[in-house]
């Protein structure tokens, strides 16, 4: 286990570093338990709550204290998947909790959290590479109006920020593969400058225009060479029985055109596999 907060440049008060280590050790021994249950007594619980409420302790300090160990493990692994995704922390029934925001298009209140976890090619978790949280103070508005905003003013900018933040301290040291779901199918993410040894593995959401003669991405992929196949088990759901599915893996290099709706018309086409 890492020894977070070991350096005074991260925590000016060494007591904060010691309290963080004690808290993480305690909670790691009782995963899934509430603080009172994991603590076993009221005094320990109150110490943890006071630490979390201390305005002199910042989340950036806690993450920074963990970062050194994560970078070391990533370098040892050589090939690392940087997997990022968003989750909602819903606290609608916690009426005394302040500064919450909308977490979707319902009246639910809570906090949005976007995390990037480092995982080795063998599936071993290596630690947190990047994390950010925010609250929506108002509903997101009409989709047509949101599209007109520059990427820096959109909530989706988090995917670009996280990819950049994950690479800090790792550039050129390892092969880093950014992995994300279809919400990260963002042209600006493909066009963003990355370190030389990093790649993107993004689940496609859009049939994007390409410069090649087929015109669009999906018809292009269907013409590509089959690089391999794999069989997966699909669990039963209300709409289908459990079954096996055989997937084909195809690959080719294409150049994506700049989207017509992009507010940043100065962008250049982006190439990738």
Q: Do 257 and 155 fall within a single domain?
A: no
Within a domain: 50: yes
Mean pLDDT calculated for residue range 237-263: 88
pLDDT reported for residue 268: 66
The runs of H, that is alpha helices, within 84-207 are 143-147, 157-167, 187-191
Strand partners, 133: 113
Percent of the chain with pLDDT over 70: 90
Q: Do 226 and 175 fall within a single domain?
A: no
Q: Do 98 and 126 fall within a single domain?
A: yes
Tokens of 118: 């480092």
Q: Do 88 and 197 fall within a single domain?
A: yes
State the average pLDDT for the chain.
88
Q: Do 92 and 186 fall within a single domain?
A: yes
Q: Lowest-pLDDT range, 2-11, 53-62, 151-160?
A: 2-11
Within a domain: 248: yes
Which of 205, 220, 254 finishes a domain? Answer: 205
Within a domain: 63: no
pLDDT reported for residue 70: 94
Whether residue 261 has pLDDT greater than 80: no
Which of 183, 205, 227 finishes a domain? Answer: 205
Within a domain: 21: yes
Whether residue 144 has pLDDT greater than 80: no
Mean pLDDT calculated for residue range 32-56: 92
Whether residue 8 has pLDDT greater than 50: no
Q: Do 98 and 139 fall within a single domain?
A: yes
Within a domain: 72: no
The domain in which residue 51 lies consists of 1-57
pTM: 0.84
Within a domain: 68: no
Number of domains within the chain:
3
Within a domain: 165: yes
Tokens of 172: 């050129």
Tokens of 133: 């949280």
Strands, E assignment, the chain: 79-90, 101-102, 109-120, 125-134, 175-180, 198-202, 225-234, 243-251, 254-256, 270-272
For 152-209, the pLDDT digits (tens) are 999 999 999 999 999 998 878 899 999 999 999 999 999 999 999 999 999 999 999 9
Angstrom distances, CA of residue 109 to CA of 60, 89, 93, 212, 235: 24, 8, 8, 46, 32
Q: Are 195 and 165 in contact (CB under 8 A)?
A: no
State the CATH number of the domain containing residue 147: 3.90.350.10
State the CATH number of the domain containing residue 19: 1.10.246.40
Q: Are 258 and 246 in contact (CB under 8 A)?
A: no
Per-position DSSP letters for 181-229, written without gaps between them: -GGG--HHHHHS---TTEEEEE---S--BBSSTT-BHHHHHHTSEEEEE
pLDDT reported for residue 75: 95
In terms of residues, how long is the chain? 273
Question: Which carries the bigger pLDDT value, residue 211 or residue 185?
Answer: 185
Q: Do 136 and 251 fall within a single domain?
A: no
Q: Do 7 and 51 fall within a single domain?
A: yes
Q: Do 88 and 186 fall within a single domain?
A: yes
Which of 165, 182, 205 finishes a domain? Answer: 205
Q: Do 27 and 94 fall within a single domain?
A: no
Whether residue 267 has pLDDT greater than 90: no
Q: Are 124 and 140 in contact (CB under 8 A)?
A: no
For 84-132, the pLDDT digits (tens) are 999 999 999 988 888 899 888 778 899 999 999 999 999 999 999 999 9
Helix axes 42-53, 14-29, angle to 10 degrees: 120
pLDDT reported for residue 137: 80
Q: Do 94 and 165 fall within a single domain?
A: yes
Q: Do 152 and 199 fall within a single domain?
A: yes
Within a domain: 65: no
């Amino acid at each position: 286990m890492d020894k977070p907060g070991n350096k005074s440049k991260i925590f000016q008060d060494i007591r904060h570093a010691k309290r963080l280590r004690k808290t993480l050790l305690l909670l790691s021994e009782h995963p899934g338990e509430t603080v009172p249950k994991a603590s076993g007594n009221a005094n320990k619980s109150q110490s943890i709550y006071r630490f979390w409420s201390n305005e002199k302790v910042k989340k950036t300090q806690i993450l920074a204290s963990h970062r050194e160990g994560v970078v070391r493990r990533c370098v040892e692994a050589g090939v690392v998947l940087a997997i990022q995704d968003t989750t909602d922390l819903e606290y609608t029934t916690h009426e005394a909790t302040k500064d919450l925001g909308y977490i979707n298009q319902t009246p639910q209140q809570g906090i949005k959290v976007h995390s990037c976890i480092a995982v080795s090619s063998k599936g071993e978790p290596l630690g947190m590479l990047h994390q950010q949280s925010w609250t929506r103070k108002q509903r997101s508005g009409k989709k047509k109006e949101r599209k007109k905003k520059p990427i820096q003013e959109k909530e989706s900018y988090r995917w670009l920020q996280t990819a950049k933040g994950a690479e800090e301290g790792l550039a050129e040291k390892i092969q880093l593969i950014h992995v994300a779901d279809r919400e990260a199918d963002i042209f600006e993410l493909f066009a963003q400058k990355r370190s030389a040894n990093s790649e993107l593995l993004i689940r496609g959401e859009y049939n994007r225009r390409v410069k090649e003669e087929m015109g669009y991405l999906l018809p292009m992929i269907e013409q590509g060479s089959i690089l391999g196949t794999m069989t997966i088990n699909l669990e039963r759901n209300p709409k289908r029985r459990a079954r096996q599915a055989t997937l084909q893996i195809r690959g080719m290099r294409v150049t994506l055109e700049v989207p017509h709706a992009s507010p940043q018309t100065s962008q250049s086409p982006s190439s990738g596999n």
